Chain A
Amino acid sequence: MNTATHSKPLLETKGLKKYFKIRKNVNLHAVDGIDLELYPGETLGVVGESGCGKSTLGRTIIKLLEPTGGSILFNGKDITNYSVNQMRPLRREMQIIFQDPYSSIDPRKSVIEIISEYSFIHKMYSSKAQTFSKAVEMMELVGLAKRYANSYPHELDGGRRQRIGIARALSLNPKFIVCDEPVSALDVSVQAQNLNLLMDLQDNFSLAYIFITHDLSVVKHISDIIMVMYLGKCVETAPSDELFINPLHPYTQALLAAIPKPDITMRNKEFQLIEGEVTSPINMKPGCRFASRCPHVMDICSQEDPEFLEAAPGHRVACFLVNDK
């Protein structure tokens, strides 16, 4: 999607930080200075391995977690320091779909109660009956049969439960949804169904997504722009196609190399996997965070933070290999 057609980003973060305090003066840097822009109707895919701060980023952006530093601009307004009460009206515009379809819906509520809860909170409709009939519309929209209205979550499978979560997020007509690994708990055939559902909904309601996942094939399928995260930092951002053809950061290259390919000639070749452990995100030293695992590591990598610079139009990367050229 061409970003130039939209003048203003729907969501923008500048140097967004979220640290978790472990002890006095000991902080876990879960999200450490993320800049991103999201335009209406666009999907930003966020990839990275477990523990790199993807989910924390998603939750911080919609202020389920208080940011430690940086700023969040939504529709041009700085919402970084909004209180819970100030955020409440904005909840109608920004929503989240959770990863785990089992724990993210209350086991004691029926499907229709779960879906209509947000509408009741925001008093979207004048009567109870109208709220319920809207909730039934939402169920149809996400492909849940009406007859499940009075079912309880435990009676449904993972895919349907995830659709409850989607219907609930959509019930407020948001403009922007954080999808926190919404398909990673599902099996592949159901994953595809739910991904297509999310894409259809995006087309119909011009939703903007931040799509968090560790699954590169999923992210390629759905994203306009992909952001690769490593230990709380953004290492590379590029349009989806560009990233898969021309990955510049050694970490992105390693991630892409690790995708299994259905190619018979590759059978006897070994994967080039990255070695070593992720460095601890607690009280980090300066320098590139990937330095300890990087196959192309240089002296400068452990001394300075690489800057996040544009290598090609719309393709930004934080690596000395690329930026010093």
Chain B
Amino acid sequence: MKNNENGSDAILYKKENQFKEIWRRFRKSKGAVIGLILFIVIAGGLLAADLIVPYEKAVSQNFGARLAPPSMEYPFGTDGYGRDAFARLLHGGRTSLSIALLATFSSAIIGSSLGAIAGFFGGKVDNLIMRSLDIFMSVPDILFTMAVVYALGPSFTNLLIALTLAYFTNYVRLVRSQVLNLAEQDYVEAARAGGAKNARIIISHIIPNAIGVIIVNTTLNVAKIILYESTLSFLGLGMPPPHPEWGLMLAEAREFMRTAPWLMFFPSAAIVFTAASINLIGDGMRDALDPHLKS
């Protein structure tokens, strides 16, 4: 395609390699690579959960082996109902992580779009969006989510909706302030002078310049949402039992904190490692996407 009559000049332009370029810059950051490897290991483990240990073991109760410490048979011990904590961790992680990731992305997309629209168009549109947001924010998050889950009933989709509604407001405010600043830049005016439409200005100039902040915020939110979800589980509004989930495991382990501390340790560690790996990836992505830091 590039080898037409203008081949030599067209080759000068190597935007086709943009992803390669970003990957090259991403690889340069040690933290980001460690984060990515960690995330692949965790995600791989969770995806292959059925091959490693059957779901049956995560939910079948064995009262003969209640609160067993870690051993060859139960690598992470057993909980108060004698269920294999290792199996619960693996199978529960699938739910926790997928809800956290999906809720983060949906809130990021909805919130960022609303924020971009409010910041870019200003005036009445801005007022309408921001004042409606005030209504959302005037109700405490936890109360709001509880109301949503109560109304819709606890299930995977409803949890997703509740968490998205609780988190998208952050993005609206964050992105709006970014866009307010970016829309004032001369290069936006230059694009207008060239006849660019609003959609082009937003997609091609504003979003790429605001993306760094959005990505960092998004990765931080994944960890927050995992914890928030555990709060909901703790209140009995998470995934319906006996289905395992990291937050629920933590909540259940609280009872046995003194007698069986490992029950608390493993889910906490899982949350920490997942959150850390995603944050590291986020930092690396932000740097890789910014041509200023290109070397």
Does B associate with A? Answer: yes
- Interface 0/1 of B7-21, CB less than 8 Å to A: 101101111000000
Chain B hits for A100, CB < 8 A: 186
Smallest CB separation, A3 vs chain B (Å):
27
Q: Which residue of A lies closest to B7 (CB)?
A: A129
Give Cα distance in the complex from A44 to B54, angstroms. Answer: 81
Interface: B131 (CB within 8 A):
no
| B190 near A104: Cβ-Cβ < 8 Å | yes
Q: Which of B15, B193, B292 is in CB contact (< 8 Å) with A95?
A: B193
| A121 near B195: Cβ-Cβ < 8 Å | yes
Chain B hits for A95, CB < 8 A: 193-194
Smallest CB separation, A181 vs chain B (Å):
12
Interface: A283 (CB within 8 A):
no
Q: Which residue of B lies closest to A92 (CB)?
A: B195
Q: Which of A52-67 contact B (CB under 8 A)?
A: 59, 62, 64
| A112 near B13: Cβ-Cβ < 8 Å | yes
| B2 near A129: Cβ-Cβ < 8 Å | yes
| B194 near A91: Cβ-Cβ < 8 Å | yes
Smallest CB separation, A317 vs chain B (Å):
32
Interface: A117 (CB within 8 A):
yes
| A132 near B12: Cβ-Cβ < 8 Å | yes
| B194 near A104: Cβ-Cβ < 8 Å | no
Smallest CB separation, B6 vs chain A (Å):
4
Interface: A108 (CB within 8 A):
yes
Chain B hits for A107, CB < 8 A: 209, 291-292
Interface: A103 (CB within 8 A):
yes
Q: Which residue of A lies closest to B193 (CB)?
A: A96
Chain B hits for A105, CB < 8 A: 187, 190
Q: Which residue of B lies closest to A102 (CB)?
A: B186
Chain A hits for B208, CB < 8 A: 106, 108
Smallest CB separation, A34 vs chain B (Å):
20
Give Cα distance in the complex from A154 to B291, angstroms. Answer: 8
Interface: B196 (CB within 8 A):
yes
Chain B hits for A112, CB < 8 A: 12-13
Stretch of A144-152, A208-216, A230-238, A246-254 on the interface side: A144-152
| B187 near A87: Cβ-Cβ < 8 Å | no
Give Cα distance in the complex from A59 to B187, angstroms. Answer: 14
CB-CB under 8 A for A149 and B209, given A117-B194, A133-B6, A168-B194: no
Question: What are 19 residue pairs bridging A and B, where the CB atoms are less than 8 Å apart in the complex?
Answer: A59-B189, A62-B193, A87-B195, A88-B195, A96-B190, A103-B185, A106-B205, A110-B15, A110-B291, A112-B12, A113-B15, A121-B200, A122-B195, A129-B2, A130-B6, A132-B9, A133-B10, A136-B9, A168-B194
5 closest Cβ contacts across the A-B interface? Answer: A133-B9, A91-B195, A129-B10, A133-B6, A118-B194
A interface residues, Cβ below 8 angstroms from B: 59, 62, 64, 87-89, 91-92, 95-96, 98, 100, 103-108, 110, 112-113, 117-118, 121-122, 127-130, 132-133, 136, 146, 149-150, 152, 154, 165, 168, 172
